[in-house]
């Protein structure tokens, strides 16, 4: 039985701003209206309470991968990221054979139907061979709408997003198909021009997959997809804030141009998230993690950055302490914006009454000390 819980004394981040000496009341699985005079269950003076984090792009963690096709392995990855504050996540696959991806989707769809995941993100195989990054080149293919539809159907209504290169043959038609089926079309791993990226947005694309990474650089005579995706108000831009994928000045540029309401921090984490250095699988490839940075170990893309080992609590702390972003903007990027992107903004992403009781407790140094999901403590604060 989930009991009524009153968290008091903390700085609470709400959509309207930071409430000093705030209170959050949880009744069952949801945030409840506060009742005057109700004694606190936890005195969190000196702490922060923020909404649970929402990750729309994560491949694994805890030594496990969502691409394994194994439900228990997927649950290991889920538990790992939940312990770091990600209470809602979309499982991302990597490029593979279509039949293999369909089998993976069947497993992930069941976990979504059980409430363990918020859906599936297909990253590849419909991406550019010139910007494939950590995806196996020999398995890439053009985004034929029939193939795209096969993966959407395999997900049984749980496909939330698909990353593709819109400049490839069938790209724009596939963007339209995804939009028609309620699946977010994301522009990424692309070699597109500025004009081609704008065409994709006009066709229905609404996300930039890990902006700046795996796409042409921003140049003064050839602005490429980065400028197009940054400037268009219809696009949410993903950013990997791990100190490896993006220079702080580039992160600042993205926030300044897109605005805090159009940024979604992601991990793009692979199986090594929450683990030590070593060798890990990423789909059909081997990845070596050294000093926390994951790179493809061999083959034609050897040395390419292979996702990250990031968790969102680390992204939060870095954003506030290194990038000097306002806490309210960081909360938007980690919770409200990705929740809205997934169509879940009425359930998760903020601490308003009626929302799911998903929250994270941080100490005064922005280190995670508590995680609650649907009213149950996954990490219990050691305060009273």
268 is catalytic: yes
Within a domain: 271 = yes
Q: What is the mean pLDDT of residues 361-365?
A: 98
**Nearest to 352, CA basis, from 73, 80, 31:** 31
259 in the same domain as 183: yes
Question: In this predicted structure, what is the pLDDT of residue 2?
Answer: 54
Q: What is the pLDDT of residue 113?
A: 98
Selected catalytic residue, list 232, 268, 313, 358: 268
Mean pLDDT across 106-124? 98
User: Residues marked as binding?
Assistant: 123, 134, 189, 210, 213-214, 221, 245, 305-307
Chain mean pLDDT for the chain: 95
Cβ-based neighbour number of residue 82 at 10 Å = 21
Do 332 and 358 sit in the same domain of this protein?
Answer: no
**pLDDT at residue 138, rounded to an integer:** 94
Domain count, the chain: 2
Examine residue 101 and state whether it is found in any structural domain, yes or no.
yes
362 and 287 inside one domain: no
* 120 shares a domain with 11: no
Using 50, 70 and 90 to split pLDDT, how confident is the model at 323? very high
CA atoms of 201 and 173, how far apart (whole Å)? 12
Task: Specify whether 128 is located in the same domain as 261.
Answer: yes
Q: Is residue 246 part of a domain?
A: yes
Same domain, residue pair 43 and 82:
no
**CA-based nearest residue to 208, from 103, 25, 84, 56:** 56
- The number of beta carbons lying within 10 Å of the beta carbon of residue 72 is 8
Same structural domain, 103 and 87: yes
Please tell me whether residues 231 and 171 are part of one structural domain. yes
Domain of residue 37, residue span: 5-50+350-379
* E-only strand ranges, 136-291: 159-164, 184-187, 207-208, 236-240, 263-266, 278-282, 285-290
Question: Do residues 245 and 354 share a domain?
Answer: no
- Given a cut of 50, whether residue 357 has pLDDT beyond it is yes
Q: For 316-339, what is the mean pLDDT?
A: 98
Annotated binding site for Zn(2+): 123, 189, 210
In sequence order, the β-bridge partners of residue 163 are 123, 186
* Residue-wise pLDDT tens digits, 226-260: 999 999 999 999 999 999 999 999 999 999 999 99
Specify if 171 maps to a domain.
Answer: yes
Q: Is residue 272 part of a domain?
A: yes
Q: Where are the alpha helices (DSSP H) in 155-247?
A: 171-180, 194-203, 224-231
- CATH number of residue 134's parent domain: 3.20.20.140
Going from the C-alpha of 343 to that of each of 32, 60, 160, the distances in angstroms are 22, 23, 9
Residue 197 has pLDDT above 80, yes or no: yes
Confidence of residue 384 (pLDDT cuts 50, 70, 90): low
CATH of the domain at 32: 2.30.40.10
Is 164 found in the same domain as 15?
A: no
Q: Would you say residue 384 lies in a domain?
A: no
- Residues 23 and 145 both lie in one domain: no
The predicted model gives 361-370 an average pLDDT of 98
Q: Does some domain include residue 298?
A: yes
Residue 333 counted as domain residue: yes
Give me the mean pLDDT over the 298-313 stretch. Answer: 89
Average confidence (pLDDT) over 11-16: 96
Backbone angles phi, psi at 124, to 5 degrees: 90, 165
Number of other residues whose CB lies within 10 A of the CB of residue 247 = 11
From the annotation, which residues make up the binding site for substrate? 134, 213-214, 221, 245, 305-307
Residues 16, 139 share a domain? no
């Amino acid at each position: 039985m989930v009991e009524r819980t009153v968290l008091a004394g903390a700085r609470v981040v709400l959509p309207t701003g930071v409430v000093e000496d705030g209170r959050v009341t949880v009744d069952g699985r949801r945030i409840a209206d506060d009742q005057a005079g109700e004694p606190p269950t936890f005195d969190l003076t000196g702490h922060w309470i923020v909404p649970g984090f929402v990750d729309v792009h994560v491949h694994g963690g805890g030594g496990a991968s969502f691409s394994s096709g194994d439900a228990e392995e997927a649950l290991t990855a889920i538990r790992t990221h939940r312990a770091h504050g990600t209470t809602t996540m979309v499982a991302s696959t990597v490029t593979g054979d279509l039949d293999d991806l369909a089998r993976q989707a069947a497993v992930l769809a069941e976990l979504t139907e059980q409430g363990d995941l918020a859906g599936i993100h297909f990253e590849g195989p419909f991406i550019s061979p010139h910007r494939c990054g950590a995806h196996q080149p020999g398995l890439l293919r053009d985004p034929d709408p029939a193939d795209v539809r096969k993966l959407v159907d395999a997900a049984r209504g749980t496909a939330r997003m698909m990353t593709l290169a819109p400049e490839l043959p069938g790209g724009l038609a596939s963007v339209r198909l995804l939009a028609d089926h309620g699946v977010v079309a994301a522009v990424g791993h692309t070699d597109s021009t500025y004009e081609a990226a704008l065409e994709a947005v006009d066709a229905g694309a609404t996300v930039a997959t890990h902006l700046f990474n795996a796409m042409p650089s921003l140049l003064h005579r050839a602005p490429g997809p980065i400028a197009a995706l940054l400037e268009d108000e219809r696009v949410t831009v993903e950013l990997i804030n791990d100190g490896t994928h993006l220079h702080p000045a580039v992160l600042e540029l993205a926030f300044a141009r897109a605005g805090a309401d159009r940024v979604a921090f992601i991990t793009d984490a692979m199986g090594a998230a929450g683990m030590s250095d070593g060798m890990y699988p990423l789909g059909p490839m081997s990845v070596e993690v050294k000093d926390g940075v994951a790179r493809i170990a061999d083959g034609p893309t050897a040395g390419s950055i292979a996702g990250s080992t990031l968790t969102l609590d680390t992204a939060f702390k870095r954003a506030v302490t290194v990038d000097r972003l306002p806490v309210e903007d960081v909360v938007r990027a980690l919770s409200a914006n990705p929740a809205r992107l997934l169509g879940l903004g009425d359930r998760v992403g903020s601490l308003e009454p009626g929302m799911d009781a998903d929250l994270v407790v941080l100490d005064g140094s922005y280190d995670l000390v508590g995680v609650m999901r649907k009213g149950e403590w996954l990490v219990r604060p050691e305060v009273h």
